[in-house]
Structure 1
Amino acid sequence: MKKYLFPFLFLLVFAQERLLAQQDFRLHSHNDYLQKVPFWEAFSAGAASIEVDVILQDGRVMVAHEKESIRLERTFRSIYLEPIQRAVELGMIDEFDFHLLVDCKTEAYSTLKQVMEDAAEFPSLLFSSQNPKGLKLIISGNRPKPEDYSSYPEWILFDYQSKNLTPDLPWEKIGMVSLSFRQFSVWNGKGRMVEKELQGVKDFIQLVHQFDRPVRFWAAPDSKSAWKAFQDLGVDFINTDQPKAAQEYLATLEQRVYSAEEKQPVYVPTYQWDGADMPVERVLLLIGDGNGLAQISSALFANGGNLNLAQIRNMGLIKTQAADDFTTDSAAGATAFATGQKTNNRALGVGPDGERLKNLPEILAEKGFSSGIITTDQVTGATPAAFYAHHPERDDTDQIAGYLPKSALSLVIGGGKSTFLRLDSAMSNAGFEMADRLEGLGEMKSNRVAYFSSLGSNPSMEKGRGDFLTKNALEALKFFAQKKTPFFLMIESAMIDSGGHANSTSTIVTEMLDFDQLIGEMIRYADSNPGTLIVITADHETGGVSIPQGNLERGEVELGFHSDDHTGILVPIFAYGPHSGEFRGIMANTEIFEKLIQLIRISDK
C-alpha cells in the first residue's frame, strides 16, 4: 500500500494546482518532454497546449528531438497517453481544456500512422462528435499534404505554418497557425519591439484571427516582458519553456498592473520661501509608511508623469536600519525620527536597553510648540505611537494607548476608537475633548482634541476612504492656527505599506496618489504661511518593488515584488520651505530629528 501512496499524493497536488490555474490566457508548453516531469508540470500550470516531439523507430513512437537522445522507456504512450488516462481515472480531468501538439521529426505519413494507432488504444480520451470534450492531437513538424488532411479522424488536426493564408485552405482541419517569431522580429524579450516589427506581428495575428484560428509563435523570447507583450497582442498560445513561471506571472498580472482612470491636478509651488534663511515656526513631517522610490514612481507614471511631490527641488536619501536589525520595522524607524536614536525593532520611544527617550513633541513643548499626529492607521499603530509612547513592544495596544493622555500632543486624529473608549475618563482628565465628527474640528476651542474616525482600522482608498487624509490635515492646520503658537504636525499615510505587504499594485498607487494630494495641499499652505518647513519621507520600503513596464499615455504601471516584507533599500526624503537644502544627500534616519532640532534652535536665536 505504501508504495502507491507517494505517487497518489503527487498526482493530487498536481490536480489541486490545475484547479487553481484556471486562467484567461493560454500557454503552450514548448518541448514539454524536456521538463523534469513531462506532462504533469504543464498540466498543473494550466497549459492549454503541450508539445511532444516524436520519432518513429522500430515501429514505436519515441519521445525525443533527435535519435541520439532517444531513451527506450520514453514513448508517446508512456509519457503522455498513459498519464492522461490515469488523470481521467482519478477524476482530475472531466473535459479536455488542452491538446497535445505532436511534432513529428520523422517521415510524416508513417509517423502519424503509428501515432494514431497508439492513441486509438485510448478511445475514451479522444475527441469525436459523440465525445465533444475529448482530447485533440494537433500534428506539427513533418505533416501530410494539406489536401490529405480531411482523410484523418476528427481528433486529428494540423498546425499550419505559412504566412500565405487563403480561404481555400482546409480550415476545418487546421487547429492552429504557427510560425517562427524570427520571421517577424529580432526582439529578444528585453525592452520592447521596434514599431515596424511590432506592426508586422499585429498584422499577422489579425490575419490568422480572420480565419477564426489561434496563433502561436515558436522561437519566441521567453521572459516576463515577452509573456506580457504576447498576451497584450492577443497571441492565443504563448510559447514557453517555463510553464509554471509563466503561469504564476500571468495569473497575477492583473493584481500587479494598475491604470489610473483620471489624472490628479498638480499644484505648482511659488518657491518664494523654499530654502530661505528664516525662522522655522511650523514643521509638517509627512511619512508615507513603506514608501520607496518605486512606489513614488508608480504613482507618478500613473498620473501621467507628474506629482505634487515631483515639484520639490530639495531631496536626499535615508538609511533606515534599526539598532538590532538590518531591516527596520515601523516602530524602530519612526522612533528614529521622533527621538533621534536608533532602537530595536518593535520598540516605541525607548532605546535598545529599554531606556525612555524624549520625543519631538516633548522636546518642542519646552520651546512653546504645540504638536499633533494624524494617521490613516489606528492611533496606536507603530508610526504614530512613536511620537507619544515609550514602550518596548508595539503590539501591546492597551499599554500604548495609556501613554496618550500623558503625552505632549494637543491633537490626535486616526482610527482605533474602541481602544480609547476604555480611557475616556483618563483622556477627559488630561484635557482632551473627543470630537465626534471631522467637520468643525478646526474651530474647536479646546486645548486638546482627539478625533477617532473609526472603531478599528480606517478603510483603504480602494474601499472608500476618500479624501480623509487631506481634509483632516486642513482641519488640523485651522486648529493650530487658533493657538497662535508654533507647531509640529506628523501626518502618516499608513497603507502604502499595506500594499507592499499584499503585493498589490492598485493599493500602492491609490494610497500614494492620495498621499500626493495631501502633499500638494501642504505645499500650498506653506506658500501662504512663511516659516513652514515640510519634510516628506518614509520609515522604510516595503515589498522590494520594481517597475518592469508601464505606459504613460494610459497611466499604466506594472509592479514587480521581490518581497512581501520590509526591505533595507534607501528611501527618499524631500523638503520644502525654510532651510530645505539641509535635507540633501544620504543620511541616517536619526539625522531627521537632529536637523529639525537644530533648525528650531536656530530659529530661537
Structure 2
Amino acid sequence: MKKLLPWVSAVLLLSNAQAQDKQYTMAQAHSHNDYERATPFYAAAALNFGSIEADIHLQNGVLYVAHDSRDIDPFRTFEALYLQPVIRQFALYKGKPYADGSPLQLLIDLKTEGTPTLQALQTLLTPYKQYFDRKANPNAVKIVLSGNLPPMSDWQKFDQIFYFDGRPDSTYPASVKDRVAMISVSFDHYSRWNGKGTMIPSELQKVKAVIDQVHQLGFPFRFWGAPSTKSCYFKLMDLGADWIGTDYPSELYDVMHNTATTTVSNLPVHNVYTPTYASDATNIKSKNVILMIGDGTGLAQQFAGYTANKGALNLFLMKQLGLSKTQSVDNYHTDSAAGGTAISSGHKTNNGVIGQDNTYVAVPVIPELLAPKGIKSGVIVTEEITGATPASFYGHTRSRDSVATLAHQLLKSNIQLAVGGGKEQLDAELRESLTSSGVIFYDNLDTWNTGKNERTMVILSDKVVTTMRNGRGNYLTTALRKALQQLSKGKGFFLMVEGSRIDNGGHSNDLDYLVREMLDFDEAIGEALKFADADKQTTVIVTADHETSGLALMDGEISKGWLRGHFATNDHTGIPVMVFAYGPNSQLFRGVYENNEIFRKILACYGK
C-alpha cells in the first residue's frame, strides 16, 4: 500500500461523532506495512492483530517483501518473514494462529505484475494449504490480495484460499462477490486530515458516506493511508470502519485494549445547587470550615465529571479559585500521606509520613489546634477510616501502613466524629476500648443518632463503603448531612470530607470508575454549599492532595454526557491541583501557592 506519512502519535483532540455500538477488538486491528517493523509479523502477532500486511515483489522466481523494489534484501523473503512464522504459530497454539482462537488474515499487496506474482505465491503456498484453507479449517489464516490484482475475470482460475481486496468504484458480479473480502480505498481521496484536531465537516461527511456506501453493498470497509494517531483510530471506530490500520501496533493495541475503561457514557445525572453568594468572599470570621479533598483529583478529573453530568457541577459554581503545588520534601509527586499532612499541619514532609515533619517529629494538626478553643473536628471518607488522608488529621506515624497504630491514635485523638469504612479491620481490643472510653460506636449509618453530642465513630463494613459502581449509593451525602446536624451544635467545627476513591479510579486507569466517584463527590459538594448558605458562617474549601494518572480528555460531547480519555500513568503525578473556595474568607484561597499554605489559610478563616 501507499506509505503513510510519519505523523507523530500524540494525545490529540477529536471532532465529535456519535460513538458506535460496534464492539472493537484486536481482531479488527491491521498492521499496515508490517514488514517495516523491527520484528515483522511477530510484533503484531504478539498483540493478536487480526490483520497483518506484507507487500511482495516477484524477482527471479523468489517472492521478496519490500515496499519498493530498491528495498529488496535477499534475506527478507515472504517465506522467511511470513510463511514460516505462520506455521510456527499453528505449531505453538495447536492448530490455531492465536491461543484464544482469534482470527488472522494476511493482506498481501502484489507490487509486481499481478498474474505471475500470484502464480508464484500459489506455488509457494500449495504445500502449506492446510494453514490457509478456511473451508477445510475454520482456524486457517485468511489470505486477502491487494495491489496489482489479476483481471477480475481470472480470479476463479486461482485457488479458493485467495480472497481479494475490492474498491468502492468497482462492481462485483455474483460469480466473484464471495471472493471479495473487503473494500479498501485511500483516505486522502476523501480527506486531508492529519489526525490532529478535527476533520472539517465536509470531509467528515465524505468519509462517513463512503463507509456507509460500502456497508450497504454488504462488504467490510478499510482505509489505507489514514493517519496513525489515536484520534484517528477513535474516529474511524466512531464512523464504523471495519479495519483500523496503524503503523504503530502497540499504540493501537493500547486504544483497542483499553477502550472499555477509557470511555464514559450514560451515567446518572444529578442536579446542582445554585449558591446565593451572600456570604462569599466576605471578611466575617468563619465559625465552621468544611474541607473537601478529592483524592487524586486534578482538573481533568473534575471536567470529566462536568462532561458526564452534561455540563453542570456544583464545584464549578464556586468562584474563588487557587492552585496548589503538591510536591513533598522527598519526591516530585506526593502521596496522600505527605499531601494530607501538608494540609493538616502546615508542614511538608516525606512520602508515606503522617502527622510528622521530614525529620519524623510529630507536628500538631488542625483538630489538635482547634480543640482547646472548643471547636469540634470530624472526618468522613469513602474508604477505610485509617486511610492516609483521614489519618493525616489525627495520626502521627512514620508509615501510612501502620493501620493498627493509626486506629488506636484515632481513639485517643481530638476527632469528635469519624465516619468511614474499615469495620473488618477493627480488632477486638480496639472495640472494647471504644466502649470503655465512652465513644459511641455505630456500624450502621441508619442507626446513627445525630442528636447526641458525645464523640462518635461510625465505622461501617467495607461492603457498605465500597465503590459507587458496586452500590455505595448516597452514603457520602447522607453521612455529610448527618455529620453537619451533629457538629453544628456548639462553638464551631472543622470537617474534612474525602472523595477517597476518585484516586482508585485513576490508579486503575478506569475512567468510568473515576467519573462515578467524581460525580458522587460533587453531590456532597452541593450539600456543603447548601449548608454554607443557610449557616452564613461556614467556609467550604474543595481541593485535592495530588493528581493521579495524568488523565487527558481526548473527546466528548457535553450535551450527551459522553467522553473518552487517556491515562499517562497509573501513579501519582506532580501536576498542581485546583483549590475552590466558597463563603466567608474564601478570597484567601486565591492565587498559586504550596499545599501547606492551605493549613494557614484554614486557620486564618477562624481568625487564628
TM-score band, normalised by the shorter chain? Answer: over 0.9
1:270 aligns with 2:276: yes
Aligned twin of 2:152:
146
CA distance in 1, matches of 2:338, 2:222: 53
Deviation by residue 1:400-428 (Cα, 9 ceiling, x = unmatched): 11112221111111111234342123223
CA distance in 1, matches of 2:151, 2:239: 31
CA distance in 2, matches of 1:531, 1:203: 60
Aligned twin of 2:64:
62
* 1:378–1:456 CA contact under 8 A, matched in 2: no
Give the C-alpha shift of residue 442 in structure 1.
4.8
Aligned twin of 1:594:
600
1:67-466 matches, cutoff 5 A: 67-91=69-93, 93-94=95-96, 97-127=103-133, 129-165=135-171, 170-420=176-426, 421-439=428-446, 441-454=448-461, 458-466=465-473
For residues 131 and 339 of structure 1, do their structure 2 counterparts lie closer, same or farther at Cα, with a shift above 3 Å needed? Answer: closer
Cα RMSD for the two superposed structures: 1.8
Stretch of structure 1 that moved more, 159-168 or 453-462: 159-168
SS for the counterpart of 2:178 is helix
Deviation by residue 1:245-282 (Cα, 9 ceiling, x = unmatched): 21222111111111133321111111111111212001
For residues 508 and 132 of structure 1, do their structure 2 counterparts lie closer, same or farther at Cα, with a shift above 3 Å needed? Answer: closer
CA distance in 2, matches of 1:210, 1:110: 34
Deviation by residue 1:348-396 (Cα, 9 ceiling, x = unmatched): 1112222221111111112221111111111111111111111111111
Pick aligned residue for 1:473 from 477, 480, 485:
480
* 2:381–2:497 CA contact under 8 A, matched in 1: yes
* Paired residue type of 1:534: V
For residues 160 and 257 of structure 1, do their structure 2 counterparts lie closer, same or farther at Cα, with a shift above 3 Å needed? Answer: same
* Paired residue type of 1:493: G
Query: Which stretches in structure 2 are left out of the alignment for 5+ residues?
Result: 1-23
Aligned twin of 2:36:
34
CA distance in 1, matches of 2:464, 2:337: 18
Aligned twin of 1:499:
505
Give the paired residue count. 580
Give the C-alpha shift of residue 319 in structure 1.
0.7
CA distance in 1, matches of 2:155, 2:141: 18
CA distance in 1, matches of 2:423, 2:250: 46
Give the C-alpha shift of residue 161 in structure 1.
2.4
For residues 583 and 81 of structure 1, do their structure 2 counterparts lie closer, same or farther at Cα, with a shift above 3 Å needed? Answer: same
Deviation by residue 1:563-584 (Cα, 9 ceiling, x = unmatched): 1111111000000000111101
* Paired residue type of 1:500: G
Give the C-alpha shift of residue 558 in structure 1.
1.5
Pick aligned residue for 2:583 from 577, 580, 599:
577
CA distance in 1, matches of 2:396, 2:306: 37
* 2:57–2:64 CA contact under 8 A, matched in 1: yes
* 1:542–1:566 CA contact under 8 A, matched in 2: yes
CA distance in 2, matches of 1:471, 1:378: 17
Give the C-alpha shift of residue 168 in structure 1.
6.2
CA distance in 2, matches of 1:455, 1:252: 28
CA distance in 2, matches of 1:118, 1:524: 77
For residues 480 and 136 of structure 1, do their structure 2 counterparts lie closer, same or farther at Cα, with a shift above 3 Å needed? Answer: closer
Aligned twin of 1:551:
557
* Paired residue type of 2:226: A
Stretch of structure 1 that moved more, 414-423 or 335-344: 414-423
Give the C-alpha shift of residue 25 in structure 1.
4.9
Give the C-alpha shift of residue 283 in structure 1.
0.6
Could you tell me the TM-score, scaled by structure 2's length?
0.92
CA distance in 2, matches of 1:451, 1:334: 21
SS for the counterpart of 2:530 is helix
* 2:166–2:184 CA contact under 8 A, matched in 1: yes
Stretch of structure 1 that moved more, 553-562 or 163-172: 163-172
CA distance in 2, matches of 1:382, 1:362: 17
Stretch of structure 1 that moved more, 157-166 or 462-471: 157-166
SS for the counterpart of 1:533 is strand
Give the C-alpha shift of residue 324 in structure 1.
2.1
CA distance in 2, matches of 1:549, 1:165: 37
* 1:332–1:345 CA contact under 8 A, matched in 2: yes
Give the C-alpha shift of residue 89 in structure 1.
2.3
* 1:38–1:79 CA contact under 8 A, matched in 2: yes
CA distance in 2, matches of 1:575, 1:109: 74
Aligned twin of 1:14:
none
* 1:335–1:342 CA contact under 8 A, matched in 2: yes
* 1:135–1:155 CA contact under 8 A, matched in 2: no
Give the C-alpha shift of residue 547 in structure 1.
0.9
* Paired residue type of 2:560: R
Could you tell me the TM-score, scaled by structure 1's length?
0.92
